[in-house]
Amino acid sequence: MAPTPLTDPTWWRHAAIYQIYVRSFADGNGDGIGDLRGVRDRLPYLKRLGVDAIWFTPWYDSPLKDGGYDVADYRRINPQFGEVEEAEALIREALDLGIRTIIDVVPNHVSDRHEWFRQALTAGPGSPERERFWFRDGRGENGERMPNEWPSSFSGDTWTRTTDPDGTPGQWYLHLFTPEQPDLNWNHPDVRREHEDVLKFWFDRGVGGVRIDSAALVVKDPALPEIDADRVYASGEHPNLDRDELHDIYRSWRAVADSYEGTRVLVGEIWLADLDRFALYLRPDELHTAFNFDFMNRPWRAQDLREAITGTLGAHAPVGAPSTWVLSNHDITRPVTRYGREDSSFDFAKKRFGTPTDLAVGTRRARAAALLTTALPGSLYLYQGDELGLPEVEDIPLERLDDPMHFRSGGVDPGRDGCRVPLPWSGTTAPFGFSPAGAASEPWLPQPAVFRSLTVEKQEQDPESMLSLYRRALHLRATESSLIGEEFAWVTAATDVVAFRRGDLVVVTNLGAEAVSLPEHSAILLSSSPLDGDLLPSDTTVWLRTRA
């Protein structure tokens, strides 16, 4: 018998994976915050959508200073979301529908509410408890200057000074993100052992894989030298990025994953410009896959997309790992908004309030991008709400913003809340079915009125909706033999066209301003927008069968 999706050991090489940001997916108890009960209720929706796995951003106990990426306890679920027993039930129910669960692990740091960090503050300088973190004396006559000037991933300083029991200033501790997220010292055996135990805890409960946040930032040079922005560091020698010691850590994690029956995948979030260094993490005894951010960040321009696809496939080929394709996530401006801008690329440093966009153009391009990415070989990631064509919500009242990227930028960066607004499921007024009828609390972020035309309920009735397009694309992706394998070849095309062949299928995307002629074909499987006879309009993707 052919393997089913749940018995195929290579399921991860071609999986369609749906990202769930729990707070904003579905509210099951009416408190305005998404929870695991809400996810369980919506599992049939995900089954109909056609995904193979769901990836949860952190669902652990957390003060939510950074959307859950400040983990206080990996063995508890955030009380706002539910309990461990409910997570176990969700994992089982999803598996019953043929859907695996992937969870997030954040090895670079923990919450300042984590037991270890509280112990470290109490124990004081020189204690074993502080060795699990990066506590250092300050520079200057009275230790008033930070130990170094490392840049932050969230703007602002990367060191915070503690206060001793007598009220005097004490040591400083390192945090590459917010002060509420102290960095761990991965030279300490406790840190390594604890994370391996966390993997076992969740693998024992049936999760199918782990996504590793900021996977290339974890190890630091113990000397904590300054970072020279103008220096080109030799491979593996940067003070806090892509250090060679990381590979031993992920080899040990792979050994843990491989000790379980069935394939438990490790997925790295790795932001590296050097594709050769990127590929090292995907060797057979390390991570299974890693996110491809190059493609996601590129502008809507044929040359850029061809370069990103070529570079990605080329980097993965030597290590035999599948490529991954993603258009957005819980950190990135949604495609419908991004692709409607004059500069349709993405860069955290460029996010600003008031950037104009053409949502009609953006939606047309997002539909075309959906079919382009869905047809590429490898695994596909879909962020919740993109299948509905939701725009970035850019008019959230300032007093409702929650993201630390906004506050740490001094209010310049609008932050990431715009792509985290709760989903619209039904109805014509907020909360659009996100919370149960009669809920006493409004959603934790306000939903715009435009959501009334984008609900799941409304789109399920429209065969031309974004949701219908994604459902058809994912169904064909799972059933067309040409799209299941890893065969890929470029097709010669005009400058503004991206075209490639997968078996007997040809995928063509027109990114130019003028319509172009379709290549010879025997059938049209799917198109992102209506065709004009034998012409492919601007900002449109089509899947063609090339033989009878």
From CA 26, how far away is CA 82, in angstroms rounded?
A: 13
- 287's torsion region: left (phi>0), alpha (psi -120 to 50) or beta? beta
- On the 0-12 / 13-18 / 19+ scale of CB atoms within 10 A, 496 is middle
**pLDDT reported for residue 156:** 87
Q: pLDDT tens digit string along 367-420? A: 999 999 999 999 999 999 999 999 999 999 999 998 888 888 888 989 999 999
Nearest to 418 by CA among 453, 377, 452, 383: 383
Question: What's the whole-number mean pLDDT along residues 62-88?
Answer: 96
Contacts of 378 (CB under 8 A, 6+ apart): 13, 14, 289, 316, 322, 323, 324, 325, 486
From CA 101, how far away is CA 122, in angstroms rounded?
A: 37
**pLDDT reported for residue 548:** 53
Q: pLDDT tens digit string along 449-465? A: 999 999 999 999 999 99
Q: pLDDT tens digit string along 103-162? A: 999 999 999 999 999 999 999 999 999 999 999 999 999 999 999 999 998 888 999 999
Instruction: Using the predicted structure, report yes or no on whether residue 4 has a pLDDT greater than 70.
Output: no
Q: pLDDT tens digit string along 174-195? A: 999 999 999 999 999 999 999 9
Nearest to 20 by CA among 43, 3, 4: 43
Question: What's the whole-number mean pLDDT along residues 290-314?
Answer: 93
Q: How many CB atoms lie within 10 A of CB 264?
A: 24
- Rounded mean pLDDT of the chain? 95
**In 313-435, at which residue ranges do the beta strands (DSSP E only) sit?**
324-326, 379-383
DSSP type of residue 532: B
Beta bridge partners of 145: 139
Maximum pairwise Cα distance, the chain: 83
From CA 277, how far away is CA 69, in angstroms rounded?
A: 26
Classify strands 324-326 and 100-105 as parallel, antiparallel or unpaired: unpaired
Q: What is the dihedral of CA 313, 315, 362, 335, to 10 degrees?
A: 120
Whole-number percent of the chain with pLDDT over 70: 99
From CA 544, how far away is CA 546, in angstroms rounded?
A: 6
Instruction: Using the predicted structure, report yes or no on whether residue 2 has a pLDDT greater than 50.
Output: no
DSSP type of residue 331: T
As given in the structure block, the two tokens for residue 442 are 């409004």
Contacts of 346 (CB under 8 A, 6+ apart): 296, 297, 332, 333, 338
Which of 269, 392, 480, 539 is an active site residue? 269
Range of lowest pLDDT (12-26, 35-49, 534-548): 534-548
From CA 151, how far away is CA 142, in angstroms rounded?
A: 23
Instruction: Using the predicted structure, report yes or no on whether residue 3 has a pLDDT greater than 80.
Output: no
From CA 515, how far away is CA 534, in angstroms rounded?
A: 10
From CA 19, how far away is CA 102, in angstroms rounded?
A: 9
Q: How many CB atoms lie within 10 A of CB 467?
A: 22
As given in the structure block, the two tokens for residue 146 are 């930070």
Give catalytic status of residue 213 as yes or no. Answer: yes
Classify strands 169-174 and 209-212 as parallel, antiparallel or unpaired: unpaired
**pLDDT reported for residue 84:** 98
Cis amide leading into 222 (omega within 30): no
**pLDDT reported for residue 196:** 98
For residue 239, give Cα distances in angstroms to 148, 218, 496, 530.
Answer: 11, 11, 41, 52
DSSP type of residue 28: S
Nearest to 508 by CA among 539, 480, 532: 539
Contacts of 335 (CB under 8 A, 6+ apart): 327, 328, 362, 365, 366, 369, 386
**pLDDT reported for residue 403:** 84
**pLDDT reported for residue 409:** 87
From CA 132, how far away is CA 90, in angstroms rounded?
A: 33
Give catalytic status of residue 269 as yes or no. Answer: yes
What is the helix (H) or strand (E) element at residue 510, kind and residue range? strand 505-510
From CA 529, how far away is CA 541, in angstroms rounded?
A: 7
The string of DSSP letters for 341-373 reads: SSS-S--GGG--TT----HHHHHHHHHHHHHHH
Residue 5's pLDDT band, with cuts at 50, 70 and 90, is low
Residue 379's SS3 state is strand
Rg (alpha carbons) of the chain, rounded to whole number: 24
pTM of the model: 0.94
Residue 435's pLDDT band, with cuts at 50, 70 and 90, is very high
**pLDDT reported for residue 378:** 96
Beta bridge partners of 101: 54
* N residues, the chain: 548
From CA 422, how far away is CA 21, in angstroms rounded?
A: 9
Q: pLDDT tens digit string along 460-509? A: 999 999 999 999 999 999 999 999 989 999 999 999 999 999 999 999 99
Chain CA centroid to CA 545, Å: 32
Which of 52, 66, 180, 213 is an active site residue? 213
Q: pLDDT tens digit string along 222-275? A: 999 999 988 989 889 999 999 999 999 999 999 999 999 889 999 999 988 888
**Do residues 19 and 386 lie in contact, with contact meaning Cβ atoms separated by under 8 Å?**
no
From CA 107, how far away is CA 69, in angstroms rounded?
A: 10
From CA 548, how far away is CA 544, in angstroms rounded?
A: 11
